[in-house]
């Protein structure tokens, strides 16, 4: 007997694939526009200082294509890896372009588009709702209008507060002028909340390593942006009622605390006596630098100590922190805390011989098992392939290459100092890793799929031997 698949009336391919494609195209479009703007002569200083900077110019007399493409991708994907010095190579116009790309890529291109639609038309169509939902990773469509406006309020509000604190500190503690202080505060607050890691100093933030009025506000913005907007919204509603927190919020908050404390203890202990990092600092300065290093390893990309001078063991610890990353639906990258936590609880349940994965008094849906496993395996595959390619193309050590690849894929921006020394092919690989890491392997794969297929017939089960 022939079994014909049952087709439900009015059904078609899932519409969420199309918003995914729109997001990929939008990010790619932003990278292209940013690249073109950074290639303009007005985007670079007239006489770049000597150093690891491109000696040639682009076809329009501005930055070379590769330098502009790499910087634009790093900014849109809120990574922070650079092949030219942001402080000395780009002109004020170029720095404004970088800042705009960070804001656009951090809060979400389609979130911005939806916000403009709300302000102009006072309404959202179904397609716009779907695109905005995919952009902010909302669990359900719900009132996307409220979500988008909430994202804008949280983002711009946090950036404004941190910018004021930084501007006041620079003006009162370092004697900077009003314009310089304001620009410093705005640029670094936007870069911090969006977990980008771009800085207006050639040594990043190493000159402020013992200044809590600079490091702590930036660290707070990084953590807040890395929690994810669903967690922020839920904390606003039920901050004093933890019993009402969802499994997602509990996983993100508990995972953030564990990873931050683990990172502080590990990095501070390993680098305590290193004369090139924490060694010269007093105990309070060492702790502050260790806290900042642990926070920024969660996909921020700032550094207050020399990353290239760290021990190999510290690099590996940061590899782990960078790969796990922050919370979903925020400005952080990486595998995401929830994915890592779900895999951890699946392993614990399997070792104990359990049949269902229970987390915080709730049973985990079976579909989440597959999603977490798929995302993790895709992420590992991307990192392995990128590492293998860079090992072939360059002469740097494995620990340096792995650090660079994980930093690019997890959109962190920390570097051992080899980014600008990589060949053209190696830098293009990092560009691809940053793009894939920002959108997520699963989102990118689904967006590129030609069509989705639904199976209406289940085949007989069979169990292979595992292990």
Give the pLDDT of residue 91: 93
Over residues 2-16, the mean pLDDT reads 43
Structure confidence at residue 56 (pLDDT): 65
Asked whether 24 and 439 are in contact (CB, 8 A), the reply is yes
| Positive or negative torsion for Cα 224, 287, 78, 412 | negative
Token pair belonging to 315 = 């690099």
The pLDDT of residue 266 is 97
Q: What is the pLDDT of residues 185-199, one digit of tens each?
A: 999 999 999 999 899
| Dist CA 228 CA 332 (whole Å) | 8
Summarize pLDDT for 146-160 with one digit per residue, the tens. 777 788 888 899 999
* pLDDT of residue 12 exceeding 50: no
Tokens representing 73 are: 């991708």
Element (H, E) at 226: helix 212-227
Q: Considering Cα of 26, then 31, then 36, then 40, what sign does the dihedral take?
A: positive
**pLDDT recorded at residue 111:** 67
Average pLDDT of the residues in 125-141: 55
Q: Indicate whether 2 pLDDT > 60.
A: no
What is the separation of C-alpha 157 from the centre of its chain, rounded to a whole number of angstroms?
Answer: 20
CB 325 within 8 A of CB 336: yes
Is it the case that residue 51 has pLDDT exceeding 60? no
Per-residue pLDDT, 8: 40
Span 273-300, pLDDT tens digits:
999 999 999 999 999 999 999 999 988 8
- Rounded mean pLDDT of 328-351? 89
**Per-residue pLDDT reduced to its tens digit, 342-398:** 999 999 999 998 888 888 888 888 878 888 888 899 999 999 999 999 999 999 999
Mean pLDDT of the chain: 84
In this prediction, residue 1 has a pLDDT band, given cuts at 50, 70 and 90, of: very low
What's CA 110's distance to the chain center, in Å? Answer: 17
**Nearest alpha-carbon partner for 199 in 302, 323, 57:** 302
Does the pLDDT of residue 417 top 80, yes or no? yes
Residue 182: per-residue pLDDT: 96
Q: What's the pLDDT at 234? A: 87
Q: Sign of dihedral through CA atoms 344, 347, 352, 355?
A: positive
For 242, the token pair is: 């933890």
Instruction: Please give the model's pTM, rounded to 2 decimal places.
Output: 0.86
pLDDT digits (tens, 9 = 90+) for 202-257: 999 999 999 999 999 999 999 998 888 888 888 888 888 888 888 889 999 999 99
**Confidence (pLDDT) at 179:** 92
| pLDDT, tens only, 424-451 | 999 999 999 999 998 876 565 555 444 4
Look at residue 26 and tell me whether its pLDDT is greater than 50: yes
Q: Which letter does DSSP use for residue 355 in this model?
A: S
Portion of the chain with pLDDT greater than 70, in percent: 81
Q: Is 10 left (phi over 0), alpha (psi -120 to 50) or beta?
A: left
pLDDT at 135 over 90: no
pLDDT at 240: 83
Residues 55-80 pLDDT 10s:
566 677 788 999 999 999 999 999 99
């Amino acid at each position: 007997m022939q079994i014909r698949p049952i087709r439900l009336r009015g059904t078609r391919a899932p519409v969420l694939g199309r918003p995914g494609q729109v997001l990929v195209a939008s990010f790619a479009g932003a990278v292209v526009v940013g690249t073109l703007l950074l290639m303009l002569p007005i985007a670079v200083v007239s006489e770049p200082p000597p150093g690891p900077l491109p000696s040639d110019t682009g076809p329009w007399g501005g930055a070379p294509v590769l330098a502009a493409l790499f910087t634009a991708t790093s900014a849109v994907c809120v990574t922070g890896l650079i092949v030219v010095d942001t402080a000395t190579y780009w002109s004020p116009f170029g720095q404004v372009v970088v800042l705009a790309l960070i804001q656009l890529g951090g809060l979400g291109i389609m979130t911005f588009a939806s916000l403009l639609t709300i302000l102009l038309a006072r309404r959202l169509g179904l397609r716009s709702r779907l695109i905005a939902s995919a952009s902010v990773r909302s669990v359900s469509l719900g009132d996307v209008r409220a979500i988008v406006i909430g994202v804008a309020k949280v983002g711009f509000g946090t950036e404004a507060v941190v910018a004021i604190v930084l501007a006041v500190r620079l003006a009162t503690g370092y004697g900077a002028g009003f314009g310089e202080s304001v620009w410093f505060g705005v640029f670094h607050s936007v870069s911090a909340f969006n977990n980008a890691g771009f800085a207006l100093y050639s040594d990043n933030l190493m000159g402020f390593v013992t200044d809590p009025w600079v490091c702590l506000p930036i660290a707070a913005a990084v953590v807040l942006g890395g929690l994810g907007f669903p967690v922020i919204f839920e904390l606003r509603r039920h901050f004093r009622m933890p019993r009402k927190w969802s499994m997602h919020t509990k996983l993100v908050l508990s995972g953030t605390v564990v990873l931050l404390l683990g990172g502080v203890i590990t990095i501070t202990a390993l680098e305590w006596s290193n004369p090139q990092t924490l060694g010269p600092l007093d105990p309070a300065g060492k702790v502050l630098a260790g806290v900042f290093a642990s926070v920024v390893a969660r996909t921020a990309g700032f550094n207050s100590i020399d990353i290239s001078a760290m021990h190999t063991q510290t690099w590996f610890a940061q590899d782990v922190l960078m790969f796990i990353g922050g919370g979903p639906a925020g400005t952080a990258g990486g595998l995401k805390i929830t994915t890592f936590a779900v895999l951890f609880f699946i392993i614990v349940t399997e070792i104990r011989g359990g049949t269902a994965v229970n987390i915080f008094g709730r049973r985990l849906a079976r579909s989440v098992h597959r999603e977490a496993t798929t995302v993790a395996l895709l992420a590992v595959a991307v990192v392995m392939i990128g590492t293998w390619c860079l090992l072939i193309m360059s002469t740097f050590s494995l620990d340096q290459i792995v650090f660079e690849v994980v930093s690019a894929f997890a959109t962190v921006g920390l570097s051992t100092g080899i980014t600008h020394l990589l060949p053209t092919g190696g830098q293009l690989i990092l560009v691809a890793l940053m793009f894939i890491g920002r959108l997520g392997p699963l989102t990118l794969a689904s967006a590129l799929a030609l069509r989705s297929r639904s199976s209406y017939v289940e085949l007989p089960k069979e169990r292979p031997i595992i292990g």
